[in-house]
Structure 1
Amino acid sequence: MTRVIRSGFILWVILRYGLDELVLSSFQRPWLHRLARVLAFGRNLDAPRGQRLRLALESLGPIFVKFGQVLSTRRDLLPPDVADELARLQDRVPPFDSAVAVATIERAFRRPLASIFATFEHKPVASASIAQVHFATLKDKQGRTREVAVKVLRPGMLPVIEKDLSLMRMMAGWIESLSADAKRLKPREVVAEFDKYLHDELDLLREASNAAQLRRNMASLDLIMVPEMLWDFCTSRVMVMERMYGVPISQVERLNQAGVDLRQLARDGVTIFFTQVFRDGFFHADMHPGNIQVSIDPATFGRYISLDFGIIGTLTEFDKDYLAQNFTAFFRRDYKRVAELHIESGWVPPETRVDELESAIRAVCEPYFDRPLREISLGMVLMRLFQTSRRFHVEIQPQLVLLQKTLLNIEGLGRELDPDLDLWATAKPFLERWMVEQVGPQRLLAELRGQAPRYAKLLPDLPRLLHDYLRQRPETHKQDLLLLLAEQRRTNRLLQTIVALGLGFALGLAATHLAAWVHWL
């Protein structure tokens, strides 16, 4: 019965904001256009389509709002005006009763709140669709207190999420069955992607482990602070972390008054992002202004403070190589290489013609070079490449979509702090370092070092293995042993030859890598 009521409410919202007309009119079939005009008769649907979709999602509640936020990152699928409007979606969710938060904490730790925290602020400092945050203090055995932030999962979320996801899957199936155009939008895949994000965010232990990994990665970079996770007080429903003090990065005037160098802050933000991407392959993928603060404490003045680690992006060595070479080729206007990279990645059908893909990429990218370099958006470049790739049936990888969305966030923040920010000048050292590591002598030495432990472990066991082998069947292997001894001298000569050839090959390979490195530079 509840599902029927919810379905009826969703249908009412769809009709109220004319989403039926929006979906039907987006397809190429003439009969669908005529049906859309008939359905729109008598309704006021003058508002832009992106605004209508945003208002509808806000009316449907926090799960659909979060779905719209995820959908806004898929600029490879959505028209720019719709994606821009959905990017305005924010979690406007009132906090749940603090008594419920206390009960959740006490169930998680199986003891009264007073025995866990020395103080606990019942009024939450932040509230979103998945969880809310309270400030508190912990007291250790020596009587010292420590200020902490307590993140508590919103109660009863799983049943609500499952019901709404079930309805989303059903609607995605309907949309996909309308036409081939609808299938191209991959509605069921988008819902499946959202399903994964939501269930990941429902596990606060997973978020805590993300934060711990990011903190460890960033320890050597004195530009960013990540709160310490207090593992004795972390469960899947409650997460206790070090309390951080800072000014929200969106409060530019307050940062100015505190004496923060905004231009340097913008460059530091880009450095942090590209370090996470090209050095670690592990990056914070939800870096909107609500999750970033700046320290004004004298000891850590001007450092970023990162919060909320529910969405993390990861990149393989292949992904990083693909991105570095794409960016480098783009800024050299080597569109043929960009096209070849798309095909070499395996995400383009093998029958795709390089010259056709090259021509399409040139048509999209060439206009950027009429502008000063500092006005070129790397995020928009990546988005345009995705959109062009869609025409050639490229399979866009989710991790690259997360990267593109995060890069747009970083650019937006950076240029709000410094309108003249040259993102390429900051990113270039990371790309150069990555390319050198891929083709330079250091890569060869690293690979040799990586294989050495395997052979070092095998060598001491060889005499014993040979002895055991001979003892199992002495009659059978006696002749083998005699032959082995007879061939020993020849084997030694052969071994010397192999070692010499190996050294020659290694030197030749190193020379080849060095030549490629010099040629690239």
Structure 2
Amino acid sequence: MTATPVHLWRMLVWGRALARHGALRPFESPKAPLAVRLIARTARIGTGAPATPDFAAGLGAVGPAAIKLGQALATRPDLIGPDAARDLVRLQDSLPPLPFAVMEAVLNAASPGGDWRTQFQSIDPIAIGAASMAQVHKGVTTDGRAVAIKMLRPGIEADLTRAIDTYEWAASHIETLGGEFARLRPRAVIATFKGWTEAELDLRREAASASELAEAVQGEPDFIVPGIDWPRSSRRVLVIDWVDGIKMNDTAALAALDFDRRKLAMVLVNGFLAQAIAQGFFHADMHQGNLFVIPPADGDDARLAVIDFGIMGRINRRARMYLAEILHGLVTGNYKRVAEIHFEAGYVPPHHNVAAFATALRAVGEPIRGKRAKDVNITQLLDGLFAITRSFDMQVQPHLLLLQKTMVMVEGVALTLDPQVNMWEVAEPYVRDWVRDEMGPEAIIADRIVENARALA
């Protein structure tokens, strides 16, 4: 068990790094507990902290674990505030690559006979991507297939274990402060983060996530998930099919490509809906760097491919049903039904009033109804929704926040393809049909059988 002075020392070192980028200034707010304010001010002494916080740069300076935590916190504007969350969205998990000789040792250790040449004809020694936990090289297998080879960085497991140990310690102390701190459940936040990182430290689990996602979108033929090379993959090495396409963040190359941009935007949105609503398992990091446009060929339209399956979200069927009804209600303006669903799901404590909650939802929903997605101020929308969660004592649902963050991300990417696309209009018929199918007699009977079985167990 790690001693308290060790935790405090780590936090002081991290705090100094954050303070140099002004990232501790929000903790000096009069609303923060006195102990937190004192720690933030002490860490800032002599750092020359800028007046405007740069949260992304601050966490990037702390190290790999902080980068991953920052990505997780970007999904929690209710916890860190909308300004910090927006800043963290730009936090790119990118580090200088390690020399291939270092990574070669990782690959050799995972190869038969201790030599990667038993599995690959060649590997480009120049990394095509390097992040806090792993880096990627292009290779060619012994049977002539082009692949992407992802390898964990040496020592990353120990680094993350030490950091998460202190995160857990800090979260438990913060939660004991009660009030708003308890409502935001920091221990649950760190537990979710720990689960993500543990999954990312076993690349076989990432491979399994890619395989499951491929099944989830098999009804969307233009939404491509690369195949997994299972025999060549292991806990520390992941080998997937090479995606021969143009990255979505390569705006110049995309501008020169002739393809149906609106259709591809629809492929993206429908692919996401198939994951999140129909299957309850979704890629939770669909930013432009993880999406590729596969150019049209042989008369076919352009297709979309997704990579990097380290951050995935999962929502059970009952939660998906509630979510689908909520989305449908917001799109159609049925705020009373949306309010009732929140109470039925237990999201709002029963001592509150359904009608009052419906009115609060209307105040947020009406200003955006009928608007095009590009005309909706997402910041104002989220601020309004999080104000409702505070006013009605709603406990935060981390899995729904992850979905919400992904929805905003998908919407943003779709708009870069087609500024006229309206995600809500695309979603409405999909959600309506899914709710109709799931609420049919057979589905209701199946639900009752399951509930009765649980009651008898």
TM-score (norm 1): 0.77
- Structure 1 CA distance, aligned partners of 2:384 and 2:283? 23
1:162 aligned onto 2:161: yes
Aligned residues: 444
CA positional deviation for 1:281: 1.8
Question: Equivalences for 1:7-156 in 2 at 5 Å?
Answer: 7-17=11-21, 21-25=25-29, 27=31, 47-49=51-53, 51=54, 53-111=55-113, 112-140=115-143, 145-156=144-155
- Which AA in structure 2 matches 1:329? G
| Residue identity matched to 1:146 | R
Distance 1:211 1:39 in 2: 42
**Counterpart for residue 487 of structure 1:** none
SS at match of 1:77: helix
- CA deviation digits over 1:315-359, x for unaligned, max 9? 222122111111121123222222111110012222222123223
Secondary structure of the corresponding residue to residue 118 of structure 1: strand
Q: What displacement does 1:8 show? A: 4.5
Q: Quick one: structure 1 residues 36 and 289, their matched pair in 2 at CA, closer, same or farther if it must change by over 3 Å?
A: closer
Residue 428, structure 1, aligned to residue 422, structure 2 = no
Give per-residue Cα distances to partners, 1:431-458, cap 9 Å, x unaligned: 12112203335647x859x99xxxxxxx
| Cα drift, residue 124 of structure 1 | 1.2
Deviations 1:448-475 (CA, angstroms, capped at 9, x unpaired): 9x99xxxxxxxxxxxxxxxxxxxxxxxx
2:277 is aligned with what amino acid?
Answer: F
Change (3 A) 1:379 1:308: farther
Query: Is the 8 Å Cα contact of residues 137 and 150 (structure 2) preserved in structure 1?
Result: yes
Cα distance in 2, alignment partners of residues 284 and 233 from structure 1: 23
Contact 1:379–1:407 at 8 Å: present in 2 too? no
Q: CA deviation at 1:117?
A: 0.9
Q: Secondary structure at the match of 2:229?
A: strand
> Structure 2 regions of 5+ residues with no counterpart?
451-457
Kindly report which structure 2 residues correspond to 1:22-421, keeping only aligned pairs within 5 A, or say none.
22-25=26-29, 27=31, 47-49=51-53, 51=54, 53-111=55-113, 112-140=115-143, 145-177=144-176, 180-296=179-295, 298-299=297-298, 301-369=301-369, 371-372=371-372, 375-376=375-376, 384-421=384-421
Name the CA shift for 1:252/1:329 in 2 (closer, same or farther; >3 Å).
same
CA separation of 1:65/1:26 partners in 2, compared to 1, >3 Å: closer, same or farther?
farther
Q: Which amino acid aligns with 1:438?
A: E
Alpha-carbon distance between aligned partners in 2 of 1:5 and 1:94, rounded to the nearest angstrom: 27
Task: Label 1:9 to 1:307 Cα distance change in 2 as closer, same or farther (>3 A).
Answer: same
Q: Which stretch has the larger CA shift, 382-391 or 238-247?
A: 382-391
Instruction: Give, as a single letter, the amino acid of the residue that structure 2 aligns with 1:60.
Output: V
- Amino acid paired to 2:84: V
**Alignment partner, residue 455 of structure 2:** none
Whether the aligned pair in 1 keeps the contact of 2:331 and 2:428 (CA below 8 Å) is no
Shift of 1:376: 4.0
Larger proportion of helix: 1
> SS in structure 2 opposite 1:260?
coil
The worse-fitting range, judged by mean Cα deviation, of 146-155 and 325-334 is: 325-334
> Does the CA contact (< 8 Å) of 1:62 and 1:129 recur in 2?
yes
SS in 2 for 1:84: helix
CA RMSD of aligned residues (A): 3.2
Task: Tell me: CA distance 1:94–1:187, structure 2 relative to 1, closer, same or farther (3 Å).
Answer: same
How much has 1:45 moved relative to structure 2? 5.1
Report sequence identity in percent.
Answer: 33
Aligned to 2:276, the other structure's residue is in SS state helix
Distance (whole Å) between structure 1 residues aligned to residue 88 and residue 160 of structure 2: 20
Partner secondary structure for residue 244 of structure 2: coil
Higher mean Cα deviation, 15-24 or 420-429? Answer: 15-24
Q: Which moved more, 1:259-268 or 1:194-203?
A: 259-268
In structure 2, relative to structure 1, the CA distance for the partners of 1:306 and 1:22 (3 Å cut) is: same
Q: Which of 1 and 2 has higher RCO (CA within 8 Å, sep 6+)?
A: 2
* Alignment partners' CA distance in 2, 1:135 and 1:273: 28
Structure 1 CA distance, aligned partners of 2:372 and 2:19?
46
Whether contact under 8 Å (2:12, 2:43) holds in the other structure is no
CA distance in 1, matches of 2:41, 2:310: 42
**Bigger radius of gyration, 1 or 2?**
1
What letter is aligned with 1:256?
A: A
* CA deviation profile, 1:66-100 (whole Å, cap 9, x unmatched): 21111011123232111111111112311112112
8 Å contact kept, 2:338–2:358: yes
Q: Which runs of 5+ in 1 are unaligned?
A: 452-521
Following superposition, the deviation at residue 309 of structure 1 comes to 0.8
Look up the SS of the partner of 1:258 in the other structure.
Answer: coil
Letter of the structure 1 residue corresponding to residue 226 of structure 2: P
SS at match of 2:259: coil
Please state how far the C-alpha of 1:63 moved relative to its aligned partner: 1.5
Pairwise mapping of residues 467-482 of structure 1 onto structure 2 (< 5 A)? none
Task: Mark the CA change 1:29 to 1:171 in structure 2 (over 3 Å): closer, same or farther.
Answer: closer
Cα distance change of structure 1 residues 378 and 276 upon mapping to structure 2, 3 Å threshold: farther
Report how far residue 7 of structure 1 moved.
4.6
TM-score (norm 2): 0.87
The amino acid across from 2:147 in the alignment is V
Specify whether residues 378 and 432 from structure 1 end up closer, same or farther in structure 2 by C-alpha distance, changes over 3 A only: farther
Q: Distance in 1 between matches of 2:125 and 2:226?
A: 21
